[in-house]
Structure 1
Amino acid sequence: MAPPRLLVVTAVAPEAAAVVRGICTALPQVGPVETALPGGWTVQRCGPVDVLAAGVGPAAAAAGTATALALDPGGYSLVVSAGIAGGFAPLAPLGCAVVAEAIIAADLGADTPDGFATVTELGFGRVRHDTSHHELVTARLREAGVPTATGPILTVSTVTGSAARATELAARHPGAVAEAMEGFGVAEAAAGYGTAVLELRTVSNAVGPRDRAAWRIGEAFAVLERAFAVLPYGELG
């Protein structure tokens, strides 16, 4: 039986490169082989795993993911939104991996006199996708010695830059482990094709006031590579 095929979607090329290095460690006999997609995207194929850097933000992520899925409908068993992220302290410290139990569009809605209202509460949309395989992936990462937190991962269009907004998001989404900018777009595209979705990231900075001196982007890329080197690819169907 052929192994399940996965589509991994990152925002930018350095994230994709870390993912590809990890996959090539796990599956040293494969790729990567580059294939051009319509719209200017490029997929790197590593055996049963395709890696796509779709762009920053939920709209670019959704467009790139949908393009890849449209060219191979039914061909993928799982779509993974991957990259680095801001972590909510103390649940997700710098350098750990985060695996989404749910992917939530945290700022899709409206400000009201009574506070923020999601589009679901307003009656015309959804803001949450539950994920597949998060328990399996979390267990495998921890078995491999990768510090891993699991919980909701928030998708935002504006990255948090203040303690007040970090506190507000944590209060509205108890147990949230991280925020990033692409997961919900990837999940929306996957849902349109009936494909399961997961989000896996590594923490480069804390959600809150922007302190670039405290960011650990290189460490986060190293952990991202390590995470994709130990995933149970044959079980992600």
Structure 2
Amino acid sequence: MRVLVVTAVAAESESVAAGLTARFPAGRSARPGPTVMAGGVGPAAAAAATAAALALASAGGTPYDLVVSAGIGGGFPPHAPIGSLVVADAIVAADLGAETAEGFLSVDELGFGRTAHLPPAALAARAAGLTGARCAPVLTVSTVTGTAARAAELSGRHPRAAAEAMEGFGVAEAAAAHGVAVLEIRAISNAVGPRDRAAWRIGAALAALRTGFEQLSPLFEESS
């Protein structure tokens, strides 16, 4: 299986690559490991970078079989505590739609498109099993949640959601356009809710991301 891992920023890519290197050491592996790249922050940047990478690979005759959106994110208490991992069983664009007097309407409710991608169930379950992650919806937002009211509103609309981040849906849209399977994996750095930088544990989340990708490496080998 040829795998592309897309993160938002370099620190996330470095953690992912460090975890993969433990399983795919340079010059010693029978096959190359996944490609890891930082595609930028937010769904638009992630979609553009992922689409470009997929198109380039296809044009070169070596298309990808799987795209993984990965990085750190916020966790919805009590589903995903700080330092834990979440594997998405649904990748949901949580703020793509319209505000109305009766509440939020998603673009699929408006009849304009879709707001969710479903990763292959068996693949997501296998990834969660290898890493000890929670398998649950991950929300993609363009603005990170910073208030209790916003957290409650999102939880009310998506009661099973375990995490929020900013890139998953963009990566999934690009993957779908190229007919490639997608996964999303998030390491939790903070609780979704009132913005409190002092409570963030980015180092712990990056360490969990590294460990998670070391544990995930057999999945990429099994399906090669």
- Sort the TM-score into its range (normalised by shorter chain): over 0.9
The number of residue pairs the alignment matches comes to 215
1:79 is aligned to 2:67: yes
Uncovered stretches (5+) of structure 2, i.e. residues with no partner: none
1:134 is aligned to 2:124: yes
Structure 2 contact 140–165 (Cα < 8 Å) conserved: yes
Which residue of the other structure, out of 149, 154, 160, is the alignment partner of 2:134?
149
1:234 is aligned to 2:221: yes
Structure 1 contact 6–78 (Cα < 8 Å) conserved: yes
Report the secondary structure of 2:22's partner residue: helix
Structure 1 contact 78–196 (Cα < 8 Å) conserved: yes
* Shift >4 Å, 4+ stretches: none
Residue in structure 2 matched with residue 145 of structure 1 by the alignment: none
Residue in structure 2 matched with residue 191 of structure 1 by the alignment: 176
Q: Take 1:102 and 1:47, find their aligned partners in 2: how far apart are those partners?
A: 29
Uncovered stretches (5+) of structure 1, i.e. residues with no partner: 32-45, 143-147
Query: Which residue identity is paired with 1:192?
Result: A
1:205 is aligned to 2:195: no
Query: Which residue identity is paired with 1:86?
Result: G
The within-5 A match list for 1:41-80 is 47-73=32-58, 75-80=63-68
Report the secondary structure of 1:60's partner residue: helix
Query: Which residue identity is paired with 1:115?
Result: G
More helix by share: 2
Superposed displacement of residue 230, structure 1: 1.1
1:10 is aligned to 2:25: no
Structure 1 contact 24–30 (Cα < 8 Å) conserved: no
Structure 2 contact 5–36 (Cα < 8 Å) conserved: yes
Q: Take 1:18 and 1:30, find their aligned partners in 2: how far apart are those partners?
A: 20
Further displaced range: 47-56 or 77-86: 47-56
Superposed displacement of residue 30, structure 1: 4.9
Report the CA distance shift for 1:63/1:30 in structure 2 as closer, same or farther (over 3 A).
farther
Q: Take 2:134 and 2:94, find their aligned partners in 1: how far apart are those partners?
A: 19
Structure 1 contact 77–236 (Cα < 8 Å) conserved: no
Q: Take 1:9 and 1:30, find their aligned partners in 2: how far apart are those partners?
A: 23
Superposed displacement of residue 176, structure 1: 0.2
Structure 2 contact 20–33 (Cα < 8 Å) conserved: no
Report the secondary structure of 1:62's partner residue: helix
Q: Take 1:152 and 1:191, find their aligned partners in 2: how far apart are those partners?
A: 18
The within-5 A match list for 1:103-118 is 103-118=91-106
Query: Which residue identity is paired with 2:101?
Result: P
> Identity of aligned pairs, percent?
59
Q: Take 1:159 and 1:24, find their aligned partners in 2: how far apart are those partners?
A: 31
Report the secondary structure of 1:194's partner residue: coil
**TM-score, normalising length from structure 2?**
0.93
Q: Take 1:81 and 1:206, find their aligned partners in 2: how far apart are those partners?
A: 20
Q: Take 1:26 and 1:200, find their aligned partners in 2: how far apart are those partners?
A: 18
The within-5 A match list for 1:27-42 is 27-30=24-27
Q: Take 1:71 and 1:175, find their aligned partners in 2: how far apart are those partners?
A: 36
**TM-score, normalising length from structure 1?**
0.88
Residue in structure 1 matched with residue 77 of structure 2 by the alignment: 89
